[in-house]
Amino acid sequence: MTEMLHFEHAPLDEVVCGVRFGGIQWTDIHFGLFYAELNGRYRQTRRRPPIHPSLFDPTVSVELQVTLVNELDLPLLWYESDDSPFLLQVQADAFLVNWRRQSGKFVYPHFRTRHEGGEGIWDRFVAVWGRFRVFCGEQQIGTPETLACHLAYINHLVQGETWNDPVDLVHWFQFLAGLKSFESLASLNLSFRYQVEGLSLRINVRPAVRISDQKKLFIIEYIVNGKLPAETTLETWFDKAHEVIVQHFVAQTTEEAHQQWGLSHG
């Protein structure tokens, strides 16, 4: 079982678990009503540009999308709190839960809640998604119908911590064995696609700069997204997506990475 695999010190920075849905008549006022429904658990809100539907399309490289936002468009709203690693993202047709490390402040609690461990990302998603569905019913604006799903594991490999020169990444990821042919950070912008048991897995590798301290880093994303088949439950889809990501991450990282990042099987 992949849930028994665990890295104690993986370079994981963020996990995103969410759905695209239809079937409700959402208006601006419902953002405030849902804030009250959350009863102070997420005390801060921020308006953000809406999530593009391509986030849930496995054939599209989302990082290349540019969305022009009309002021009249309903926004995406973030619900967050300083004392929690979880962020809710809500808009008229999408609902996502993010776990964020936030400069090492929080420790990843596993995909599912474990005995004597923190609340898992899946369990938090199920709880707030269920609450959101009940809220929509109580507001008589319809019942959200899940159309597509998205699960992403986002790793940050920071210069001076896991690498000094880009070629150092071959010590961690086997699929980057050809990295010696790249001469600069700007050259390394890669995307790999796999079809695994009916799911589409995309792995993105790209350079970036950390805003907090301007350190250079590589972002390595493992993303599974796509439509939710009519015969598949939400739990089954996310369990399978999680298994695909974990299996590929373990298979594509080196023994040195397993030792350094503390891979365990219990």
Domain stops at, among 78, 113, 145: 145
Mean pLDDT (the chain, rounded) = 88
pTM for the structure as a whole: 0.92
pLDDT of 65 reads 43
Provide, rounded to the nearest whole percent, the portion of the chain with pLDDT above 70. Answer: 88
**CA gyration radius for the chain?**
19
Q: How far apart are CA 221 and CA 156, in angstroms?
A: 9
10 Å CB burial of residue 98 (0-12, 13-18, 19+) is: buried
pLDDT of 168 reads 87
The mean-pLDDT minimum among 64-73, 213-222, 244-253, 254-263 falls in 64-73
Q: Are residues 110 and 209 in the same domain?
A: no
> Is 12 inside a domain boundary?
no
Cα–Cα distances in Å, from 107 out to 15, 110, 234, 240?
Answer: 12, 9, 26, 23
Q: Are residues 205 and 251 in the same domain?
A: yes
User: Using 50, 70 and 90 to split pLDDT, how confident is the model at 124?
Assistant: very high
pLDDT of 213 reads 87
Q: Looking at per-residue confidence, does 107 or 99 come out higher?
A: 99
> Is 57 inside a domain boundary?
yes
pLDDT of 68 reads 47
User: Structurally, how many domains does the chain consist of?
Assistant: 2
pLDDT of 157 reads 94
Q: Are residues 80 and 183 in the same domain?
A: no
Q: How far apart are CA 157 and CA 180, in angstroms?
A: 17
> What average pLDDT score do residues 55-60 get?
86
Given a cut of 60, whether residue 34 has pLDDT beyond it is yes
Given a cut of 60, whether residue 186 has pLDDT beyond it is no
Q: Read off φ and ψ for residue 7, nearest 5 degrees.
A: -105, 120
Q: Are 241 and 15 in contact (CB under 8 A)?
A: no
Look at the block and give the residue holding tokens 């390394």.
188
Cα–Cα distances in Å, from 33 out to 80, 93, 100, 131, 135?
Answer: 16, 17, 25, 13, 9
Q: Are residues 216 and 174 in the same domain?
A: yes
> Is 15 inside a domain boundary?
no
> Is 169 inside a domain boundary?
yes
The mean-pLDDT minimum among 85-94, 111-120, 239-248 falls in 111-120
pLDDT of 64 reads 40
Q: Read off φ and ψ for residue 226, nearest 5 degrees.
A: 150, 175
Q: CB-side exposure of 21: number of CA atoms within 13 Å?
A: 22
Given a cut of 80, whether residue 3 has pLDDT beyond it is no
Q: How do residues 203-216 score in pLDDT, each as one tens digit?
A: 999 999 988 889 99
> Is 13 inside a domain boundary?
no
pLDDT of 134 reads 97
**Domain, as residue range, for 233:** 152-264
pLDDT of 179 reads 65
pLDDT of 67 reads 47
Given a cut of 70, whether residue 73 has pLDDT beyond it is no
Given a cut of 80, whether residue 102 has pLDDT beyond it is no
